[in-house]
Amino acid sequence: MVAGADSRLYLIFLGAPGAGKGTQTAMLSQALGIPRISSGDLFRENIKNQTPLGRQAKAYIDRGELVPDAVTVGMVIHRIAEDDCVRGALFDGFPRTIPQAEALEAALAEQGKTLGAVVDLVVDHEILLERLSGRWMCRGCGASYHLAFHPPKTEGKCDTCSAELYQREDDRADTIEHRLLVYYRQTAPLQNFYRQRGLLYQVNGEQAIEAVQEAVLRVLGVSQPAEYAGFG
Ligand code: ADP
Ligand code: AMP
């Protein structure tokens, strides 16, 4: 497995908006017993709570632009220092630029932590459009659903926490196209960044959700999630 000798597991999930990062990291977080850190969720929480950071980020998010590195890096690095991240963390949607990746590398090193792997979920543009335009999110826990591909058991309600489902404002057709463009320009170069470090594992994200999860566990070398959850 890709855990360090001390069995801590810090993993990045790379992939375009709609590739399935949130879906996969939520499942993996449960299976491995380590937290999921989604920069998008952290921003949305700040926006909901009307914090200064949330106010700063909102205009960028509404336009489908990236929030500036200085704001994003500070928020995520602060989160990694929390107690629940001592055994590992799953990064969903962070880093999204080379400076963010460099800042994460430095922050992990400073805290005596190392990156185990970068899982890149590869999905074709047309499929991404279909997934994002049919996505419904839970207001409570942030879980992702899809009208056709992953419908909730009860219409409009989250299977896990029963909270209301909603469509994200930035999942509108015009913003989706722009977010994908931003991904190809600013985030896709991270594939080479991590390939050069020998950390990149590409997984076909076009398979069914459970098949993607199995493929992810396979590349991580975790055949029995319980094996890992027992570490401490
Ligand atoms: P990301 O976090 O990468 O933006 P999500 O996990 O929110 O992506 O998934 C985007 C949409 O696609 C959601 O509606 C989700 O239910 C759906 N989805 C995720 N994985 C798959 C899959 N393997 N097959 C079909 N639909 C999927
Ligand atoms: P996500 O939930 O990952 O799709 O992110 C939603 C939006 O939040 C993005 O379109 C960006 O505007 C912003 N965002 C999330 N993560 C980052 C990041 N790492 N860097 C910059 N902006 C981000």
Atom number of ligand 2 nearest to Cα 95: 19
Read off the pLDDT of residues 95-112 as tens digits, 9 standing for 90 and up.
999 999 999 999 999 988
Which of 21, 36, 44, 79 is flagged as catalytic? 21
- What is the pTM assigned to this prediction? 0.95
Q: Is 133 within a domain?
A: no
* Burial class, 208, CB count within 10 angstroms (exposed 0-12 / middle 13-18 / buried 19+): exposed
Q: What is the DSSP letter of 5?
A: T
Q: What angle, rounded to 10 degrees, do the helices at 173-182 and 52-63 form?
A: 100
Q: Hey, whose CA ends up nearest to atom 20 of ligand 1?
A: 20
The strand pairing partners of 119, in sequence order, are 13, 201
Print the SS3 string covering 183-215: HHHHHCCHHHHHHHCCCEEEEECCCCHHHHHHH
Assigned domain for 76 exists? yes
> Which CATH number characterizes residue 208's domain?
3.40.50.300
Pocket of ligand 2 (CB under 6 A): 17, 39-40, 43, 60-61, 64-67, 72, 93-96, 100, 170, 179
CA quadruple 149, 62, 64, 131: dihedral, nearest 10: 10
179 annotated active-site: yes
Give the Å distance between the CA of 230 and the centre of ligand 2.
Answer: 32
| The two structure tokens encoding residue 123 | 């999905």
Assess if residue 197 is contained within a domain: yes
Is there a catalytic annotation at residue 55?
no
Res 230: pLDDT: 41
Domain extent, residue 91, equals 9-123+187-229
Distance 41 CA to ligand 2 centre (A): 8
By most ligand atoms within 8 Å of CB, the mutation choice from 29, 129, 144 for ligand 1 is: 144
In a domain? residue 22: yes
Instruction: With respect to residue 167, please indicate whether it lies within any of the assigned structural domains.
Output: no
pLDDT tens sequence for the chain (232 residues): 676 545 679 999 999 999 999 999 999 999 999 999 999 999 999 999 999 999 999 999 999 999 999 999 999 999 999 999 999 999 999 999 999 999 999 999 998 899 999 999 999 999 999 999 999 999 988 899 999 999 999 999 999 999 999 999 999 999 999 999 999 999 999 999 999 999 999 999 999 999 999 999 999 987 655 555 544 3
Q: Give Cα separations from 119 to 102, 203, 224, 232 (angstroms).
A: 17, 7, 18, 23
Q: What pLDDT, on the 0 to 100 scale, is given for residue 18?
A: 98
Domain count of the fold of the chain = 1
Candidates 222, 15, 1; CA nearest to 123 is 15
Angstrom distance (rounded) from CA 182 to CA 187: 7
Residue 139 lies in a domain: no
Tell me which residue has its CA closest to atom 5 in ligand 1: 20
